[in-house]
Amino acid sequence: MVLKSVSKDLGGAPLVSEERAVPKATGPFDVVVRIGAAGVCRTDLHLVTGEMEPPLPLVLGHENAGWVHEVGSSVTTVAIGDPVICFPFVSSGLSEQERAGLDTDAPDRATPGISVDGGYAEFMLSNERSMLKVPASADLAQLATLTDAGLAAYRACKKAAALVRPGDDVVVFGVGGLGHIAVQAMVAISSARIVAVDTNPAARALAIECGASEAVAPDELRRALPRGARACLDFVGADSTAALGTGVLAFGGAYFAVGVGGTVSLPLADVVVGERRIEGVYVGTYTELLEVSQLAISGRIAPRVVRYPLSEANTALRDLAHSAFLGRAVLEPDR
């Protein structure tokens, strides 16, 4: 059985499912992946509740890892049985944007779990270009979280690391599914002093576990930054975090928006006189997925995962909606 779609009722209604054959590798979808882990993301909640309008019926799941189950006749770089994680976009690689390294701007891309069927299932269609082989010993649940959450967090950290000097302060807003990975990534690739900001004391404690130098509530941030911040990474994306993040930037500092929902409002005089930058971060490239996965495989970052069986997908979504856990929920095959 392959799960076909998720009920819009997060109150405990069962998953809607139907019997169908294992998909075949054809055309641009030339790899079938047997799913070993599928991350649960707030984007999935937006799709379930109608905040985003998906094509229906749709199998959710855009953070995926597993084993190659079937390949098309032209596939040469992966073979049946290979453990893989899946770059979240399926595309030809032939567009001008992709040739320039802008994978996230590919005009012809499909996104499993958002625009086509994803990994809340036993099998998923993808393509050779999206496959990234990993060691057989790797924890697929941890690595699955890197294919969107970890990838976006790492891309933001990589941009910030290019700006910081030893001892500079970097602020991470929101120590959730992305933010706790970002704290670890900044520790791994920079010598910055990291200040984490969260309203939840448990999340602040997690930030310290992940390597933050200090973890504070929002009203304590200015005290913790006597020199201002070289970079702010905003994984919350609310009006309040945007205002606070842009307000604490040092001269030449940059505010990186990853979470969405709020509005940035900043006088141009402050931007000009302070040479401040405001930049968005959207997912990341295949190369960045390779880099962040190597950090995880080498043990330099360790995503915190909460594991659910695939049949409990609605429970995982409901728990996410109620912020019932820290870290990232992951669905694994039923035993």
Q: How would you write 293-312 as a 3-class SS string? A: HHHHHCCCCCCCEEEEEHHH
Residue pair 210/216 in contact (Cβ under 8 Å)? The answer is no
142 contacts: CB under 8 Å, gap ≥ 6: 296, 302, 303, 305
pTM for this entry: 0.92
Residue 49: other Cβ atoms inside 10 A = 12
138 and 8 within one domain: yes
137 and 177 within one domain: no
138 and 12 within one domain: yes
**Amino acid at residue number 92:** S
212 and 236 within one domain: yes
Instruction: Give 9-52 as a 3 state SS string.
Output: CCCCCCCEEECCCCCCCECCECEEEEEEEEEECHHHHHHHHCCC
Residue 90: other Cβ atoms inside 10 A = 24
CA 195/CA 229 separation, integer angstroms = 9
Give the CATH number, domain containing residue 308.
Answer: 3.90.180.10
154 and 274 within one domain: yes
Residue pair 142/181 in contact (Cβ under 8 Å)? The answer is no
> Structure tokens of 241?
């975090």
DSSP track, 136-198: TTS-HHHHHGGGTHHHHHHHHHHHHHTT--TT-EEEEE--STTHHHHHHHHHHH--PEEEEE-
196 and 135 within one domain: no
**Residue 162 forms part of a structural domain:** yes
143 and 263 within one domain: no
**Residue 288 forms part of a structural domain:** no
Residue 335 confidence (pLDDT):
82
310: burial class by Cβ within 10 Å (0-12, 13-18, 19+)? buried
Residue 314 confidence (pLDDT):
96
CA 209/CA 162 separation, integer angstroms = 24
**Residue 200 forms part of a structural domain:** yes
Residues of the chain with pLDDT under 50: 1-8, 12-17
Residue with tokens 């500079």, as numbered in its chain: 168
Query: Can you give the residue range of the structural domain that contains 57?
Result: 2-147+303-332
Residue 15 confidence (pLDDT):
44
How many domains are contained in the chain?
2
Q: Which letter does DSSP use for residue 210 in this model?
A: T
**Residue 85 forms part of a structural domain:** yes
> CA gyration radius for the chain?
20
Residue 25 confidence (pLDDT):
65
Residue 1 confidence (pLDDT):
36
Residue pair 189/164 in contact (Cβ under 8 Å)? The answer is no
**Residue 249 forms part of a structural domain:** yes
74 and 63 within one domain: yes
Residues present in the chain in total: 335
Residue pair 65/84 in contact (Cβ under 8 Å)? The answer is yes
Alpha carbon 147 to its chain centroid, in Å, reads 6
Residue pair 255/160 in contact (Cβ under 8 Å)? The answer is no
Q: How many CA atoms lie within 13 A of 163 on its CB side?
A: 25
C-alpha angle 69/135/291, rounded to 5°? Answer: 110
186 and 254 within one domain: yes
**Residue 320 forms part of a structural domain:** yes
**Residue 287 forms part of a structural domain:** no
154 and 143 within one domain: no
Residue 10 confidence (pLDDT):
53
For residue range 187-213, what is the model confidence (pLDDT) as tens digits? Answer: 999 999 999 999 999 999 999 999 999
Residue 28 confidence (pLDDT):
79
**Residue 286 forms part of a structural domain:** no
Give the CATH number, domain containing residue 242.
Answer: 3.40.50.720
275 and 195 within one domain: yes
35 and 17 within one domain: yes
